[in-house]
Structure 1
Amino acid sequence: MKLKNAVVLVTGANRGLGQEFARQAVAAGARKVYAAARNPASINIPGVIPLQLDVTNPVDIARVAQDHPDITLLINNAGIAETGGILSPEADQMLQRQMEVNVFGPLRLSQAFAPVLAANGGGAVINVLSIASWITGPLLATYSVTKSAAWSMTNALRQELQAQQTQVLGLHVGFIDTDLTKDLEVPKVSPSSVVEATFAGLEQGAHQVLADDVTRQVHGALSGYPDIYLLPIAH
């Protein structure tokens, strides 16, 4: 799918990776870029149209899909991460909160926009996933569960949307230098490099983008070294 003249909706566009997706979509010649956040007043990106959208609210999702039938590219970027092990007393509550944003949000948005994309010739969906879709550790155990679920959901979407010629792209990446990771002392990549790689993959018709070296290394080790699953993302 080409970005030029596309009509793009980016969730979680008020900061970090979502903000960069919106900026680069404008720069690439998208006809319209809708930048969505719970508080649209927090969006300050030249050339975008701010939208109020809480991805955990089905009413919000239905309203946005009904009011914006011109969208050709849905970028499911909004996400949250909570730190803690899977055996912590709060693990079930953390998992529920993160599932609502990281899995059910993208699922409901994809369901709502599937007919919109079909009516506009197919278009595309980008789901922001993670290296945590494949490996985990005590630091991000519940987050990893949600990203594994989001990866599986992305694969299912790809199969079901193929008939209407909707491209579904899963973005896998390690730690990105954003507000979400500001307290983590780990190697990080820039949001700009991640978005550049993702949009390049989109225009090449890719179904998956591995946006940094560590993600490519882990992906390559999945079949040749099954014990990769036993290695933590971070301590």
Structure 2
Amino acid sequence: MKLENAVALVTGANGGLGGYWIEGLQNSGVGKIYACARNIQKLESLVATNPKTIMAIELDITDETSIAQAAAECTDVNLLINNAGILFNQGLIASKDLSAARTEIEINYLGTLAMCRAFAPILKINGGGAIVNMLTILAKVNLPANGSYCAAKAATFSMTQGVRAELASQGTLVVGVMPGTVDTGMSKDYPPPKVAPAEVVREGLQAVVDGVEDVYPGEQAQQLAAQLLSDPKAVEKALAQMLPVS
């Protein structure tokens, strides 16, 4: 897919990675960008950088009415970037209750799925286009310190494969972006190595151009992906040492 003059929609545009997606899209020559967030006031400074290209859209991906309104307004989209997500740093058993796990599933999995469902018909009308789902290498192996987040992202990874299969006939590319630790505020308490947000975006957009379905930005993700192919149980046992803080 060519990015020049494409029309992109980015969820979670006000988040730690959101601004980098907007910048990367602009640098790629995209013609229009719908920057989405639950509170569009948080997008004012972002829109001000290029008001001719960037449009702020109020969107809550956990609300069906909000999604329907966005889909009705953004009928020219041919590149959907599902960037919105949430991380609570909670274990599965250590967590005091299921509230964090439910929210992570609601946003990371069900919200992303709802966006895919709403915009699949739009992408079809506009020639197929592409969907980019922002995942993590931890979608493929659980880090117990973030156990419920990993489980939600694992569900999203599986969903990405299923959506990819269902939309193949309409010519829609579905890309899963699976970095390791990204250097944003969400990971400020995590040790290095960390991959630069701009690199995550660059590799994600290049995957769209090249038609690559799964991409692993950064050395950490690439090494883990290789290790998961050669000895997945060893990777599981190594990460099993990183338990939730009690």
Q: TM-score, normalised to structure 2's length?
A: 0.92
Q: What secondary structure sits across from 1:2 in the alignment?
A: coil
Q: What secondary structure sits across from 1:170 in the alignment?
A: strand
User: Gaps (5+ residues) in structure 2?
Assistant: none
Moved more, 147-156 or 21-30: 21-30
In the alignment, the residues of structure 1 paired with residue 197 and residue 236 of structure 2 have an alpha-carbon distance, to the nearest angstrom, of 26
Aligned identity (percent) is: 36
Q: What secondary structure sits across from 2:29 in the alignment?
A: coil
Contact conserved, 1:126 with 1:170, CA < 8 A, in 2?
yes
User: Gaps (5+ residues) in structure 1?
Assistant: none
Instruction: Give CA deviations for 1:77-136 in whole Å, capped at 9, x if unaligned.
Output: 000001122112435221101011100111000000000000000000000000110122
Contact conserved, 1:134 with 1:229, CA < 8 A, in 2?
no
Contact conserved, 1:4 with 1:29, CA < 8 A, in 2?
yes
4+ aligned runs moved over 3 Å, structure 1? none
In the alignment, the residues of structure 1 paired with residue 184 and residue 229 of structure 2 have an alpha-carbon distance, to the nearest angstrom, of 31
Moved more, 30-39 or 184-193: 184-193
Q: Name the residue aligned to 1:81.
A: 87
In the alignment, the residues of structure 1 paired with residue 148 and residue 95 of structure 2 have an alpha-carbon distance, to the nearest angstrom, of 12
Contact conserved, 1:135 with 1:230, CA < 8 A, in 2?
no
- Specify which of 126, 138, 146 is matched with residue 132 of structure 1: 138
Moved more, 89-98 or 71-80: 89-98
Q: In the TM superposition, what is the alpha-carbon distance from 1:14 to its structure 2 partner? A: 0.9
Q: Name the residue aligned to 2:103.
A: 97
Over 3 Å counting, the alpha-carbon distance change for 1:218 and 1:8 in structure 2 is same
Over 3 Å counting, the alpha-carbon distance change for 1:89 and 1:25 in structure 2 is closer
Cα RMSD of the aligned pairs, angstroms, is 1.3
In the alignment, the residues of structure 1 paired with residue 78 and residue 2 of structure 2 have an alpha-carbon distance, to the nearest angstrom, of 10
Q: Name the residue aligned to 2:229.
A: 223
Contact conserved, 2:108 with 2:153, CA < 8 A, in 1?
yes
